[in-house]
Every structure is written in structure tokens, then in C-alpha cells.
Structure 1
């Protein structure tokens, strides 16, 4: 039996270790891919076998999917060499989506990608029109994104965005999906709603009592249209009568003094 170890893109991978086990899970043989990524196992008795990876090539995710094969009891002629399909190892992929706090995607955010120890992996990764960044071919390990430039009109989010590429997976690993959120800048002026004709009105159709200009104007109109009370009219009448009475008394006193002077002269 022969097989070749390779990457998803077809790159030959040496250094992968496999175990061959029979149907009773007894270890039959352990093999390592050579520089050409090749393994060969000879002298296998007829029966069912499994080929399982126990160590991945450096920088790759271990593929835990066993490869099953059978050595038949008989062949017509020379059995020859059984060749298995290529044995594939994968690396990790991560997708980061940038959104605002309303859930809308944001283009133009820039990130750097680091390993857990602070080693830079990639710089100036910018979200596309769909708000996405995708990074592939990541070796197993822990990583984090750091935002270096926020989308226009939004605050920079300086929080680390961590994730991990697992050491092993059954077949092709799933893509890691992350979401990062930006909040709008505080100094962005709010949108002013269009004003209505003649000022806003309350729900009952009258002027809005919270508007000081409307309230003041309404109060002035009420005062201008206010009629005098009955008490106010009586007070004015008494003032007029008192004035007439005082004037009459004053005139009588002047007339009396003039009469006295005439009598003295005679």
C-alpha cells in the first residue's frame, strides 16, 4: 500500500506520522512520510485496515479522519500496489466581520493580526465593502486582531479580538467567524428632524406646553383678551365719585372765603 501526504493546495508534506491498525485495532506498523511526502507499507495480510495520522506535518492541523482500506483475499494475477487517495492536511481560516451597533456592516476598518505572544502575522488588513476580512493558511495556535483604524465616523475599538486555530480536526476544519463592533463618534451632530409649520403641537392639537416661546405667546394673548372683573369696575366708579366730591367741597370753600372778604370791605 502506498500514499502521498500533501496540503490542500497540493504541496508535498514530509514528516507526517501514521499508524496502521487491523480490524481488531492492533497496531500493525507506524510510518513517516519522507521528503517526497510518500509512505509505503509492505507485506500486509488480507484483511481490513485503518491508516490514522498521529502527528501532522509542522504548521498543519492534524487530520484525525482515519483512512480505511482492504487487502483482498485474492487477486487475478499480481496484486500489484494499492495506491490510496492523497492524504490531505489543512491550515486554518478566519473571517472577521465589522459592524456598527445597529448590525450594519462597515467597510474601511483596518486591523493587524498577531500571535498570542505579540508576534505580528499580517498588517493593514482592511474590511471590504461587505465589512469582511478573511485570513487563510494559519497554523494551529492562538491569535488576536487589533483595530488600528476605525471606519469614518466611528470610534476606534481598541479591544483585542482573540481566536484559536485548533491542533486537530476530522477532515477540513470549519472557518472561524468573528464579529467586531464600532460605536459612532460622540461628536457627530445628531440628525435634526424637519420642523413643522407654526411650531410643534401637542397630541391634543394645541401648542406644545414644553415650548417656552409658544407658552409665552399664548399667555400674552390670554392677558390681552382678558375682560375686567366686576370688582375692578366698582373700584373705578368709587374713585371717580370721590374725586367729584372732593372737587365740590374745594369749590364751596373757595366761594365761602370770597364771600367773607366782600362782607368785611362793606
Structure 2
């Protein structure tokens, strides 16, 4: 019913008193008139909702003067403010929903951390946390979705009880950067790779380009193996797999792999001694008969060809080293997709060989004859003597070659050209032979040597040769000179003829 005070009727909802609760959460009002009232909470603790209106009735005692103290039987109650958090987890570039992210939610009260649990994003990319009391909270991602880097930010949230919080948190895929380079650190395109996880499952395949190759989405903290399947063209396959762990801190994994160029080594050797031969010119052709390489063997008897692409190749010697005959055989080798070289990579050369045989007119062998060999310009060749064979050598100590007990001189390593052979000393009792010209050609190898035979004519008396090649005839000791014998024969013949003539004359006149 309406209240009347001093003949004034008070309208409904008129405030007749205000009180504040004391430390015991109690308060009182002074009411002058009996009637129906309600208590309305004007303010409360920030963590609570204000209470609903609480009705109360005030009456007078029978004596009419003493006010009645009215006590609420039920205390006024406040409801604690509550709210929720909705986290949306998406890819930072595509906005794609990301399930599997795990978050930790905690509060800090009185400098103590209180964990409220772990929460995982569902297939709809959401994490929903409800019925959280009013207050300050902290949300931290501890495990990212597979293939993504963890968002290491700690997000501070406040539940105000007014509305639920909606929070979008993004993740970036892990990045692994692979560079394929040569020894000059230049990027090499065309290398084929695969990546396997710890279960030996292939998780990625890619081919290198002029830029570093980027692989996204490998699981942070996991161990992977990088394997090269095909090398860049002209390079050798990297034989060893590379094991790496994806960084968990979100930094880029950078892997650099170097490749060596394909390397073909052709060896040139002496067929007799197996020693390396320098100066041989070799030409290499590819499958299309294009020249792929031309070069000469070095002092180690090798040519080293770098960077040939996979395929089939042929090669041959186009010019032999001095003192050798050309090897006319054609050889081949193959470079496979891994850069490995398969084939015949050695060329043998026969040294040139000249055999001089010394005989008389009856074919008997003659030892002890000496010769010198000159070229067409008059240059006298020098030789070293090894196991009875004369080896052409600019530093050799021999310029005169001597026939052995078998009447032979064997000469090796003369360059292919024309030579003059001059006898400088004949065997005892023989005249010097004249100059002989020979040509060492591509057919004059040790397996088919050039053989010449030089005859000496026997002298009717012993002759020797001086240093100027003059022939001096010496009489033999105790022997009548030939001129006296001839004179004796002439006189004797004449006397016999005269005797015969005189005898015929006498017979005629008898």
C-alpha cells in the first residue's frame, strides 16, 4: 500500500534509506512508517552480480511509539560472475582450421600459479573453456598442430562475466630450407630429393632450383632424413643421407649440401713399364658424336674431365707421346644418373722399337760394330742403356751404340721420323758400311719392331778405321808382299815360254 508522510503520499520505489555493510557484512535502516519495503543492492564486489530485490515488512508495536527492529531471515546472496573462452586455431596464411593444438590455462593468485588444465583444439579448430570465474587468466600454447611452429606468446585474458571471450590464434608452418650448391656455393638446379620421417615413410619429394628449396609442414622436434636421389646434371650423387631435427622455436632449418662435379680420369701408361705418360692428346665424344673434351695427359699421365653429364662417351688417342706409337683403339665409358663412371679408363702405348742386325756378306753375325743415329737435321741422339737396350734419352750418356754378342742393337723410344744410321766403327777385318736411312713409323712398336740388317764386307787384309773413317791397310807379319809374288809369277812364266820356243826351233833344224 502507498506510504503517506506528512500528508504526502510517497510514490513506489522511493528510496527511504541507504546503508553500507560493515566488516561483518551487516547493515541497518531506520524506518519511520510501517509498511511494505524492499531492499535493493546498489553496488557489490566487482566479481559478483548485484542481488535481486529483497522484500521486507516493517510494523509498529502496540504501544505505538517504539519502532520494531526487522531482521531478514535469509541473507542477501550474490552470484559470482562467470564467463568462457573460445579459442579459434587457424593457419596464419590460409585460415585453415588446425586441430591438435594443446593449450595450458592457468591463473596467478598471491604470486602462486594455479593450473586449470590442458585443452586441445578440436576438428572444428576450436578450444572452448566454460564456467570460468571472474578474474585474470593466462593461456599458453605448449604443443602446436603437427607441421607448425609453436606460438610461444602467453595471452592474458580477463573474465568479466559480461560476455565470453573469443580469441583467434594462428600458427605458421615449419620451414626447412635446403640449398644445393657446388664448391663455389653456387646454387645447382635439377637435384632430386626425398625426405623420410623416423618411421622410414616418405613425407616429401622435391627438385632443387635456382633458389633454395623450401619444405613446409614438417613436425617440430621430429628427426628426418634427407636423401638425394638424382644429382644435378654434371655432378656426382651425394652418397650420405643427411639427418636433421626440425627446430621447435620456429626458426628456419637451413641445410646446405654440396656436390662435386662428375670426374672422369683417363690414365695413359707405358705398355712395357706401366709408367705414366704425359703429352698424349685425347679426344672424347658424346652420344651425338659431338666433341665433349679435348686435352693432353699431364705429368702424372692423366687427363681429368670435370662436369660431364650422364650418358655414354667414346674416346681415343689422336696423338701419341713422343717415342710411342699411337694406340688406334677406341674406348668407351658411361656416366650413370648418380654420376658414377663405368668403363675402360686406361690407354697403353707401345714404345717405338728399332732393331739393327750386323752381319757379313755370308749372314754371319758381327759383334762390336758401333753406330750413331742422327735425325734429318744432323742432331745426334743420346741414349741410356738399360738391360742391353738403348733408350732414347736427351740426358743419356751414350751417343754410340754397339752391337751385342748376337750382333744386334735394340733401340726404343725414338720419335716417329726419319733417321740416318752411320757406322762409326766396324768389326775387326771388315770395311765400314755406308749410311742407312730408316723411318720410325706408327707401325714400329715393340710388338712389331722395325728391323734392318747392315752388312759388312770382309777385307782381304786387316783394316782399322781411324777417327776420320779413313781405311788403312796393314800387311800381315812374315808374309811376302803381293807385288813381289806377282813379279815372280811373271818372270817365271816368261822364262818357261822362252824355253819352249827355243826347244821348237832346235827340233826344226835337225
TM-score (norm 2): 0.36
Question: Is residue 212 from structure 1 mapped to residue 322 from structure 2 by the alignment?
Answer: yes
Structure 1: where are the runs of 5+ without partners?
72-77, 195-210
SS of the residue corresponding to residue 217 of structure 2 reads: strand
Pairs within 5 Å for 1:79-118? 86-118=168-200
Q: CA deviation at 1:20?
A: 2.2
Structure 2, unaligned runs of 5 or more: 1-83, 266-283, 285-291, 297-320, 325-351, 353-372, 382-398, 400-423, 425-463, 500-510
Distance (whole Å) between structure 1 residues aligned to residue 472 and residue 148 of structure 2: 111
Q: C-alpha separation between the residues in 2 aligned to 1:241 and 1:22?
A: 133
* Distance in 2 (alpha carbons) for counterparts of 1:254 and 1:110: 105
> Using a 3 Å threshold, how does the CA distance of structure 1 residues 193 and 36 change in structure 2: closer, same or farther?
closer
- Structure number with higher strand proportion: 2
SS of residue in 2 equivalent to 1:240: strand
Displacement, 1:39? Answer: 4.9
- Give the 5 Å matches for 1:27-38: 27=114, 29-30=116-117, 32=119, 33=121, 35-38=124-127
Structure 1 partner of 2:92: 8
Partner of 2:238: 157
Residue 181, structure 1, aligned to residue 254, structure 2: no
**Rg bigger for which structure?**
2
Report the Cα offset of residue 147 of structure 1: 2.5
SS state of the match for residue 116, structure 1? coil
Q: Which has the higher helix share?
A: 1
In structure 2, relative to structure 1, the CA distance for the partners of 1:66 and 1:258 (3 Å cut) is same
Candidates 181, 206, 209, aligned match of 1:128: 209
Correspondence 1:51 to 2:139: yes
TM-score between the two structures when normalised by the length of structure 1: 0.63
Per the TM alignment, residue 136 of structure 1 is displaced from its structure 2 partner at its CA by 0.8
- With a CA cutoff of 8 Å and minimum separation of 6, indicate the structure with the bigger relative contact order: 1
* SS of equivalent to 1:63: coil
Over the residues paired in the alignment, what is the CA RMSD in angstroms?
4.3
Count of matched residue positions in the alignment of Structure 1 and Structure 2: 227
Residues 60 and 89 in structure 1, CA contact (< 8 A), matched pair in contact too? no
Return the alpha-carbon distance in structure 2 between the equivalents of residues 67 and 12 of structure 1. Answer: 21
3-state DSSP class of the match of 1:222?
coil
Show the counterpart of 2:152.
65
Whether 1:20 and 2:125 are equivalent positions in the alignment is: no
In 1, Cα distance between equivalents of 2:295 and 2:216: 46
1:69 Cα deviation after fit: 3.4
